[in-house]
Structure 1
Amino acid sequence: MTDAVSLALDAGQTGIKVRVSRAGAAPVDRGFPGIRTDAPLLPQLAEVARVASVGAPVEVLAAGVSGLTSAEDDAAELRALVHELTPGRVLLTHDSVSSFLGTLGDQHGAVVASGTGVVTLAVGPGGVARVDGWGYLMGDAGSGFWLGRAALDAVMRAHDGRGPATSLTEVVQARWPVLEDAYVQLQSDAARVSVVAWFAEAVAARADTDAVAAGICASAAEELALSVTTALRRVDAAPVVSAIGGVFRGAAVRSGFEELLRAVHPEVRFEAPHGSGLDGVAALAALADGHPLRTLVSEA
């Protein structure tokens, strides 16, 4: 298939990153709107693949997907949905796997990825352990959504007189001038998850000057550190840790997280990412059969 392309899809709630590779040409990265976790995921991936391939046959289609459940973890079903692209191989996995591969590669250790949502994955002599990544209704402790939700809660508590005043109120009022109407407008917004997560940046920016924001960041750091120490313990892995995602751009969360991990593992080594989640998706096709993560990848 001389005109065939290989597609790597890093599918998150905020956006879908796609790498289109063709023999003899430099890869091209494209962006698409994020997946909706309240709708079937595989048809969404299939549509992005169709658009990104521009009708060319597909040699390899690999996808790392946020919110992927056992009900849809079926590469054969995805292959059937894009049958007209005549894919040679289809690989499908949770984005915690592709994030780990893109960040630590073949090393043992833990990767915590905190953006709109959050998931931690550890690989060690004891196998593989996933911690959290259970979505904004049941988990995602320390995620952007979690920070934003805590900010909104604090603002409404201050408004009621149940909590201390906070400069986060002015941030929320910039979006919803009438605070008492905010909850109705938010609940009716189809993009409410990303809207809530948007407030995380304001929390991080005010951590040095606002006690409420500082407390939220400290709590997020505690949750993220707990997830990592739990994952490392479950697989008996050496404390090699990489923390990725927008939440860790906040100095208060990152410094608190690292301090808490050092208290448990004085020998912890924090490692910069070797690559991105998209690099990890692209690496799925070359993942050895004996690799601990291979059992978490569906292939057809």
Structure 2
Amino acid sequence: MGSRQAAPRTVLAVDAGKSNVRAAVFVSAEPDGPEPEPATGALPVQAVQAARSVRGVTLAGGPPNLVAPGGVAEVWAVLEEAWRGLAADVTRVDAVAVGLTGVRGPSPQAAELARLLRAATGAAHAIVCCDVLTGYLGALGARPGAVVAAGTGAVALGVPDDGPYAFVDGWGYLLGDGASSYTLGRRGLTAALRDADGRGPATALAARLAEHYGGPEDAVRAVYGSANPPRDIAAFATDVLGAAEAGDEVAAALVHRTVTELAELAAAALRRERGAGPVPVSWHGSLFLADELVLRPFLAELAERVPDAVPVPPAGDGLDGARTLAAPPPAAAPLLDRLLDHRPDDPHGDR
């Protein structure tokens, strides 16, 4: 592994999930300071979206899949515009870390994206990794445990005291993401359409679909004509949660199913992680903002499934995790050695 270099003074951190992209530059007060402070605020999502339309990027929310045909160029167009929105306030960047949706491990595409980041920013070191990892570091920090992420997608990461870490789900909207806003929104739309057809029980979701889209035919056109169906379908999860809170039984059953699947995710990650004694578990993502409907029932069900799980409220988010990855404190080195196939101070180990 070699001797560690001084922590970078200035780092660019990017959190690129399925629904939005955020970027910020952090500057350390000391040349070897491990905890940089923000030099600028996170680039507004709206600015990135406008840049995408100008540059011809099709997705209005999160970046496209990196490994899809042309994926590197499209993702780079998004990140380059984000960097341009910050570069005027920055004289130097020592390191870059990007948590990117859809990256499960090392790939030529991730290596090429890291090379482009180094060339554009002048940074000596760049890391492109899974946004699940940066979300984990932001929520729980560099220590063993488990973190459940539930936004447009859904995934859990279990990190043991030693040995390999394990993802649970995170297979994307076609094959997985069962406990996500996307799945909750899709199930809500299906329930509303079944009500409209006379095939299912009456539900307030039918009226919410009409408010959201205009009617069943409008909803179908909007979904199938969308440039980003997962993001747009996930937006209906807010309507499902609202209907459940208002007492709709169909919506409440859908939310309960999601909570059960979230607890299953966490329990599976903890089984992979399990050592002796209590294990910290944290969470992040838009679904957990529904405190009474999602977070509290999730914690209660998790306590029944895994009594020695210790809930730890998230300390930060994916942007904080990317900052940690770009400029890790010395104490984080052992865990990061296991989470990454390279060190942040290895310019040839881009992931």
TM-score (norm 2): 0.77
The answer (yes or no) to whether the contact 1:145–1:193 under 8 Å persists in 2 is yes
| CA RMSD in angstroms, aligned pairs only | 2.4
Structure 2 counterpart of 1:145: 182
In the alignment, is residue 66 of structure 1 matched against residue 101 of structure 2? Answer: yes
2:110 maps to 1:110 = no
User: What is the CA-CA distance between 1:223 and the residue it aligns to?
Assistant: 1.1
1:227 maps to which residue? 265
Letter of the structure 1 residue corresponding to residue 18 of structure 2: Q
Deviation at 1:21, TM superposition (A): 2.5
**1:86 counterpart = 2:122:** yes
Mark the CA change 1:52 to 1:188 in structure 2 (over 3 Å): closer, same or farther.
same
The answer for the alignment partner of 2:39 in structure 1 is: 27
2:289 maps to amino acid? R
Counting matched residue pairs gives 297
Higher mean alpha-carbon deviation, 212-221 vs 22-31, is at 22-31
Unpaired runs of 5+ residues, structure 1, are: none
Contact 1:78 1:90 in 2 (8 A): no
Aligned mate of 2:285, from 218, 235, 245: 245
Secondary structure (helix, strand or coil) at the match of 1:164 reads coil
**Alignment match, 2:213:** 176
Corresponding residue of 1:157: 194
- The reply to whether residue 268 of structure 1 matches residue 309 of structure 2 is yes
Residue 186 of structure 1 aligns with an amino acid whose one-letter code is V
Secondary structure at the residue paired with 2:173? helix
Structure 1 residues 80 and 114: CA distance shift in structure 2, 3 A: same
Paired residue type of 2:15: D
More strand by share: 1
Deviation at 1:69, TM superposition (A): 4.3
1:43-62 equivalences under 5 Å are: 43=76, 44-54=78-88, 56-62=91-97
Taking every aligned residue pair, what percent have the same amino acid on both sides? 34
TM-score, length basis structure 1? 0.89
Q: Which runs of 5+ in 2 are unaligned?
A: 1-8, 30-36, 50-60
8 Å contact 2:24–2:38 — kept in the other structure? no
Distance in 2, matches of 1:232 and 1:108, equals 10
Q: Distance in 1 between matches of 2:112 and 2:129?
A: 13
CA distance 1:165–1:95, shift in 2 (3 Å): same
Question: Does residue 280 in structure 1 map to residue 327 in structure 2?
Answer: no
8 Å CA contact 2:40, 2:86 repeated in 1: no
Q: Quick one: distance in 2 between partners of 1:137 and 1:271?
A: 31
Name the amino acid aligned to 2:121. Answer: L
Decide which moves more: 51-60 or 80-89.
51-60
- 1:114 is displaced (CA, Å) by 0.8
Q: What letter corresponds to residue 253 of structure 1 in structure 2?
A: V
